[in-house]
Amino acid sequence: MKGIYSALLVSFDKEGNINEKGLRQIVRHNIDVNKVDGLYVGGSTGENFMLSTDEKKRIFEVVKDEVKDQIKLIAQVGSVNLKEAVELAKFATDLGYDALSAVTPFYYKFDFKEIKHYYETIINSVDNKMIIYSIPFLTGVNMNLDQFAELFENDKIIGVKFTAADFYLLERMRKRFPEKLIYAGFDEMMLSATVLGVDGAIGSTFNVNGIRARQIFELAQEGKIAEALEIQHVTNDLITDILENGLYQTIKAILEEQGIDAGFCRQPMKESTPEMRANAKAMYEKYFQNQDSMLNV
């Protein structure tokens, strides 16, 4: 379960329906071009929290059908609706997903006892493994080391997707739980997280930038920090350009430049403008047009 995982984008048509053909193309691009170790399906990048339960299930089905057993699959099933989370956990497990993940319950100010009950209810309902999805800047949920320790007492909770900038907590977690999986969740901080000993990374930009992500990860593991830093610099230039232009719209537009039917974003996300698409084309030409150059940055 270690390595580089793309947080999978989902293609939608202009009316907001799932574009299954485009979704399969994105999956294939991640496998065949980005050479990722796995896909994280149903996360923020997949616009998950704007989808119905049936739509989430269909995405899980299409991705599994396309991937078969070529790479690892993690299904993000978390929801403020605990019944839905359990239903999705059972569905993804029956499909053969390698592990589940669940975002910490958000919006309401849940206490830790409630959060622990949420995770244990989900994972104890299935014969599968759970990866906590900790993303405090979006959920408002900040758990401390002892709270993670309580969750990790359940052997079925095998790790965490750590999308936070608290690298002191990350270092403490790595030292205290050497047997648990820790995935870096911030693409722009991947080098720093790898130096601290994460087992892999899960990222939105890996849908287009997976080759560089692997270079950073592997070079850092080999102790070649200066070389990894140069690639992180290029990666962060790209990320800065993407964020200034519109995150998901831009990644989809870059994929379109590569012949992938990445489609539209789900409303209320805005549709990309001609200017945004022109900027994305320029990014493609700058960062990706010559794939060979990515191997010699």
Q: Does 121 fall in a domain?
A: yes
Out of 133, 183, 248, 284, which one is annotated catalytic?
133
Residue 204 is labelled as binding a ligand: yes
Q: Would you say residue 296 has pLDDT above 60?
A: no
Q: Does 295 fall in a domain?
A: no
Q: Does 250 fall in a domain?
A: no
pLDDT digit string, tens, across residues 223-264: 999 999 999 999 999 999 999 999 999 999 999 999 999 999
What average pLDDT does the segment 49-58 reach? 98
Q: Does 71 fall in a domain?
A: yes
Count the Cβ atoms, other than its own, within 10 Å of residue 97.
26
User: 241: burial class by Cβ within 10 Å (0-12, 13-18, 19+)?
Assistant: middle
Residue 44 is labelled as binding a ligand: yes
Residue 187 is labelled as binding a ligand: yes
Domain with residue 167: its CATH number is: 3.20.20.70
Q: Does 77 fall in a domain?
A: yes
Q: Would you say residue 292 has pLDDT above 90?
A: no
Q: Report the alpha-carbon distance of residue 100 to residue 159 in Å, rounded.
A: 10
Q: Report the alpha-carbon distance of residue 165 to residue 162 in Å, rounded.
A: 9
Q: Would you say residue 5 has pLDDT above 70?
A: yes
Residue 125 is labelled as binding a ligand: no
Q: Report the alpha-carbon distance of residue 269 to residue 246 in Å, rounded.
A: 10
Residue 158 is labelled as binding a ligand: no
Q: CA 252, 256, 259, 260 torsion: positive or negative? A: positive
Range of the domain at 87: 3-225
Residue 256 is labelled as binding a ligand: no
Q: How confident is the model at residue 293 (pLDDT cuts 50, 70, 90)?
A: low
pLDDT digit string, tens, across residues 135-186: 998 898 999 999 999 999 999 999 999 999 999 999 999 999 999 999 999 9
Q: Does 90 fall in a domain?
A: yes
Q: Is 119 helix (H, G, I), strand (E, B) or coil?
A: helix
Out of 56, 72, 161, 252, which one is annotated catalytic?
161
Helical axes 112-123 vs 82-95, angle rounded to 10°: 30
pLDDT digit string, tens, across residues 94-149: 999 999 999 999 999 999 999 999 999 999 999 999 999 999 988 989 999 999 99
What SS3 string covers 171-208? HHHHHHCCCCEEEECCHHHHHHHHHCCCCEEEECCHHH
Among the listed residues 203, 207, 198, 182, the one whose alpha carbon sits nearest the alpha carbon of residue 262: 207
Strands annotated E in 50-103: 72-76, 99-103
Residue 93 is labelled as binding a ligand: no
Q: Does 277 fall in a domain?
A: no
Number of domains in the chain: 1
| 183 is known as an active-site residue | no
Among the listed residues 155, 110, 100, the one whose alpha carbon sits nearest the alpha carbon of residue 130: 100
- On whether the CB atoms of residues 38 and 71 are closer than 8 A, the answer is yes
User: 230: burial class by Cβ within 10 Å (0-12, 13-18, 19+)?
Assistant: middle
| 133 is known as an active-site residue | yes
Q: Does 282 fall in a domain?
A: no
Residue 163 is labelled as binding a ligand: yes
